[in-house]
Amino acid sequence: MKPSPVTYHAPATVAEAVGLLAEHGDDAKVLGGGQSLLPLMNLRLAAPARLVDVTRIDGLGAIERRDGAFELGAAVRQAQAEDDAALAAACPLLAAALPHIAHREIRNAGTVCGSLAHGDAAAELPAVALALDAELVVHGPRGVRTVAADGFFRSFLETALEPDELLAVVRLPVAPPGSGAAFHELARRAGDFAIAGVGAQLTMRDGTVTEARVACIGVGAAPVRARAAEQALAGGRADERTIAQAARAAAAELEPSEDLHASAAFRRHAAETLMRRALHEAAARAESNGREAS
């Protein structure tokens, strides 16, 4: 239960980090807070020869609002995001999701970008990025590219990142006025990985849903955007019947797998129930935020 031999690098700049990744390729692994990577290394499920710690890079530890979005650098810890009131107000789905990630002691070390780059299908932050149409700013030896969250999360622990690339910044769009969000999940123990989970952010104006963003975790090889639910909700009222229809339509499209913890049918049923709850709560918060704004 100890990591195999490894060489640790703590570059001070993105260019230096990218240089190390370019030099060592598959042998190197980017290290954020290490809250997913270190357990894998202890269990010898991962044995990188080099670690490139990006949390000491100047400028990547900031949470900044720019052009209608919040930018979070690769060194931003989950607890730091959780404690940022301006970020919570602007990105309510992120604020709703963060407390579900393991426990505070893990969020004190774990980074937002690290969770996205790890790409666990049962993790909360990939679903948040997907639902919000986040942009991921990726640095590599071939330059800088911006990748849409839709398409970034490919399969089990597989993302659009190349081994020599670094996820430097995630850009989360600010929610329109009158938005509310909720994140509901089912886990065997608070803080465990979710058997199924749903994040929803609704924007309401005069009782009508103007924008619906919904994503599910734990029900596939990657987080799943619940487009059927979004379409069922947009332009209508978030009443009991519409929410039930939206959740049913989205659950019918899911193709969850079966494992030790739950059957596929149970996961689909759980996702539908969690989605109904999340949508009700998000709608209530959106209406309340809309009243405060006006």
DSSP state of 188: S
Q: What is the DSSP string of 248-288?
A: HHHHHH------SS--HHHHHHHHHHHHHHHHHHHHHHHHH
Site for another protein in 10-69 (CB under 8 A): 10, 31, 34-35, 38-39, 42-43, 51, 53, 55
CB of residue 120 vs another protein: minimum separation in angstroms? 14
Site for another protein in 100-119 (CB under 8 A): 102-106, 108-109
| Residue of the chain from 148, 190, 265, 293 that contacts another protein (CB under 8 A) | 190
| Residue of the chain from 17, 60, 72, 79 that contacts another protein (CB under 8 A) | 79
CB of residue 101 vs another protein: minimum separation in angstroms? 11
Site for another protein in 116-145 (CB under 8 A): none
Residue 219: left if φ>0, alpha if ψ -120 to 50, beta else—which one? alpha
CA 142 from chain centre, in angstroms, equals 26
- Residue 3 is a binding residue for another protein (CB under 8 A): yes
Residue 76 burial (CB < 10 Å; 0-12/13-18/19+)? buried
CB of residue 199 vs another protein: minimum separation in angstroms? 21
DSSP state of 12: S
Amino acid at 174: V
For another protein, the closer of residues 34 and 178 by Cβ is 34
CB of residue 287 vs another protein: minimum separation in angstroms? 27
Cβ pair 188, 272 in contact under 8 A: no
Q: How far apart are CA 271 and CA 197, in angstroms?
A: 6
- Residue 201 is a binding residue for another protein (CB under 8 A): no
- Residue 2 is a binding residue for another protein (CB under 8 A): yes
- Residues of this chain that interact with another protein (CB under 8 A) are 1-8, 10, 31, 34-35, 38-39, 42-43, 51, 53, 55, 79, 102-106, 108-109, 190-191
